[in-house]
Structure 1
Amino acid sequence: MSNIRKFTRFSFPDLVAATGPTVILIAALCALAYVMVDPTPPRQVSLATGQENSAYEEFGKKYAAALAKHGIKVTLQPSLGSQENLERLKDGTVDIAFVQSGGSTEQAGGERKGLVSLGSLFTEPVWLFMREPVAVTHIADLKGKRINLGPEGTGVPKLFRQVLELNGVDPGTLIIGGLENTPATVELLEGRIDALVFSSGPEALLVQMLLQTPGIKLFDFSQAEAYTRRMPFVSHVVLPRGIVDVGRDLPAQDYHLIAPTATLVARDDLHPALVDLFVQAASSIHGAPGWFQQQGQFPSPKFTEIPVAREAQKFYKDGPPLLQRYMSFWMANLLDRMWVLVVALAALWIPLSKVVPPLYVWRIRSRVYRWYGQLRTVEQELDAAPHEGKAQVCAALLKRLDEIEDRVNQISIPLAFADALYGLRSHINFVRQRVRHAMNVEGRGKEARPEVAADGGTAAPGAAV
């Protein structure tokens, strides 16, 4: 039974030895492709928001909550505003940030800085709040007034200076302050400044509070449409009468405002999967109707000077990735990345599959063929043996052939290659017969040769000496 087991359908050790290096090579290259071609999305990302109580801050919290559902930690980094956020993106200290449209985000500049847009999110009007006794109906009426434009990092000072320039007002004729929004609001309520300018979405707590504060009046940009023609990055929006509180009729009239657009901007090396997540989060956070927008108007690839990321464009055209509609983010991302492995496997397995079968066959047959070297050695020793003592050489060769045959009989070989094994055994027997024949010839030669007498003559057979 043990001899029968030596014949199998295939040799598993030889199969492993033949395919092992190939499998290891393919696995190593696939792992390299898995890591290098499409790395795993990072589980932490930094988002630059804005000042305290700003719309950027509020929306930043919503993004952090949305991505936390997928196991992504969003680290919120407060800032002065849009301009500072752009600087942080350029420096690489944040991965993604809220940025206001305007001269600082021109398309050529955005490309040079290695930035991409994930789309515009909402309009953030320019709010000019004044104390009620201040009689300001035109921008030119602000001359000599104490007005806070906020820190330079917010982007509002640059924007409002453009507004002043369009109205022919020299900024030097105003007393301009640079406080952040919250302390500036306190100064306005205390009467230490006359007006406060900042840009934010209507969701900001300061906007909600000031619109309902007695004695505080909102400036009406009655020429808003003209501003949009002279400043292409702003749009004309209307704050409807009663939108704050219909029962109290707040505000008591429609207000025309100019509004740049808030944009989500990222570094161009942000992982594509995270771009998908942020755009999906933006769709759920900003897609509802609001004070200045209709259902589904935002997020949008429009109203942004910075080139829109390829993944974001695909989302706006086709919606979320197919797999992410039906499974978790990480599972969908894993399956997406598996395509990289499939391509790598196909590229490697097709040529290597032509190498492995011949290698397997060679390993099996070499187990048989290497004994032919031993047989050839036996034949060479037989041919080189001298006539005297050839019988002893033949006897030793026969013993070696018996040892070779015993070892050959221990070979385990698949049934498909049994013909090679039986062929080897027949050839061993062939060499054995040749050695025996040489031994027999030598024996007969000894019997046929006459014995030589002591005196040099030849004695007759059977004669007494």
Structure 2
Amino acid sequence: MKKAILVLMMFLFCVTSVAATSGEALASASYLMATSSATGNYYRFGSVLAQIISAKAGVSITVTSSGGSIENARLLGSGENEFALIQTDVNHYALTGTEQFAGKPIRGFSAITALYPEMVQIVVSKKSGIQSVLDMKGKRICVGAAGSGYEVAARQVLLAHGMTYDDIDERFLSASEGKNALQDGQIDAFFMCSGYPNSNVVELGLTGGIDVISIAPEYVKKLTEMYPFYSPYTTPDDDQYKIGHTVDSVSVMAMLVARDDVPEDVIYNVTKVLYENLDEIRLLNSRGNYMTLEGAFRGIGGNVHPGAARFYREKGMTVPSKDL
């Protein structure tokens, strides 16, 4: 009898020790989150997420600055960062080895949640007479820096309208260069993909010489069918661009992802903490207003991290299972 009690005590001691060790390992876990430049939206919003996670999920997240979505996917692939903010289109390209990752797919990371929309914005000079994408034929159009996310989006929008660069006078400029070129009358319009409102467009709107055009409903439908990472998007009725109307377009989503080798329990806790503290996130950064449990998979076709999937299933949600 004494021997049986001794064996039971030893068993309970081992179980308790393992649990304590596991808890200590979780509490001491430290990870890096790739975002954007220190002045970018990803860095600011990522810092809020990291603050909430580090305070309440039992792990430490340190935000790192980077070149943005495309670099972040590569940092995940190399293992230099365990978490990152990336766009849903870049997520798709990295996993499928297309566009900027042609022939060189990056695997080994999965989605935690969609965060907020980044709208495809088409800013035009009023003098250009452009009122729709089809009106761009023969015009001087900035499509973004060569190989950038903006440029890919521009090509996709044109393609959905049955157009290519052969139909326009394309100019490869960064967002700030495009803004300056439009202001100086050197181009007629520029594409960009950004959260609304974008400070460059707000500044241009003060001049009264620009408009931001809508994508017609039939082409929004076509884009979302052709590219599953796009979602319909309409600007709020707050006219921050001083153009006198709302704008209908498509958006990709900023999303939070993590490497697959981050333990399932860690990602479960991270996901749970984010959704249990939405009010605080929204208070710290207004982009948190776009985060909802119902919209957690917006623009995400599959590859949800098992830890996040466990949380969503506990909430009675169906988790996308497609392996991109």
Which residue of the partner structure matches residue 300 of structure 1?
A: 296
Work out the CA distance in 2 between the residues paired with 1:86 and 1:299: 22
Change (3 A) 1:207 1:55: farther
Work out the CA distance in 1 between the residues paired with 2:269 and 2:125: 43
Alignment pair present for 1:177 and 2:165: no
SS in structure 2 at match of 1:45:
strand
Runs of 4+ deviating beyond 6 Å: 25-30, 290-295
Identity of aligned residues (%): 19
Which residue of the partner structure matches residue 102 of structure 2?
A: none
Work out the CA distance in 2 between the residues paired with 1:254 and 1:37: 50
Work out the CA distance in 2 between the residues paired with 1:117 and 1:37: 24
Which residue of the partner structure matches residue 85 of structure 1?
A: 72
Q: Which of 144, 150, 153 in structure 1 is aligned with 2:145?
A: 150
Shift of 1:259: 1.3
Gap runs ≥5 in structure 1: 1-14, 320-465
Which residue of the partner structure matches residue 372 of structure 1?
A: none
Change (3 A) 1:46 1:158: same
SS in structure 2 at match of 1:64:
helix
Work out the CA distance in 2 between the residues paired with 1:298 and 1:260: 16
Shift of 1:287: 10
Which residue of the partner structure matches residue 262 of structure 1?
A: 254
Which residue of the partner structure matches residue 253 of structure 1?
A: 245
Q: TM-score, normalised by structure 1?
A: 0.52
Shift of 1:225: 3.0
Residue identity in the other structure for 1:281: L
Residue identity in the other structure for 2:60: I
SS in structure 2 at match of 1:229:
helix
Which residue of the partner structure matches residue 235 of structure 2?
A: 239
Shift of 1:206: 3.9
Shift of 1:218: 0.8
Shift of 1:118: 0.3
SS in structure 2 at match of 1:125:
strand
Alignment pair present for 1:197 and 2:183: no
Shift of 1:137: 2.2
Relative to its length, the structure with more helix (as a share) is 1
Residue identity in the other structure for 1:56: Y
Alignment pair present for 1:131 and 2:125: yes
Q: TM-score, normalised by structure 2?
A: 0.72
Alignment pair present for 1:59 and 2:52: no
Shift of 1:135: 2.0
Residue identity in the other structure for 2:44: E
Which residue of the partner structure matches residue 98 of structure 1?
A: 85
Report if aligned partners of 1:58, 1:204 keep a CA contact under 8 Å in 2: no
Work out the CA distance in 1 between the residues paired with 2:160 and 2:54: 45
Gap runs ≥5 in structure 2: 98-104, 316-324
Change (3 A) 1:125 1:147: same
Work out the CA distance in 1 between the residues paired with 2:63 and 2:195: 22
Change (3 A) 1:67 1:171: same
Work out the CA distance in 2 between the residues paired with 1:27 and 1:151: 61
Shift of 1:144: 4.1
Shift of 1:97: 1.5
Change (3 A) 1:316 1:104: closer
Shift of 1:35: 5.4
Work out the CA distance in 1 between the residues paired with 2:117 and 2:53: 23
Report if aligned partners of 1:107, 1:306 keep a CA contact under 8 Å in 2: no
Shift of 1:77: 2.0
Shift of 1:117: 0.6
Work out the CA distance in 1 between the residues paired with 2:122 and 2:38: 18
SS in structure 1 at match of 2:26:
coil
Q: Which has the larger radius of gyration?
A: 1
Shift of 1:257: 0.9
Shift of 1:45: 2.2
Shift of 1:263: 1.8
Shift of 1:162: 1.7
CA RMSD of aligned residues (A): 4.1
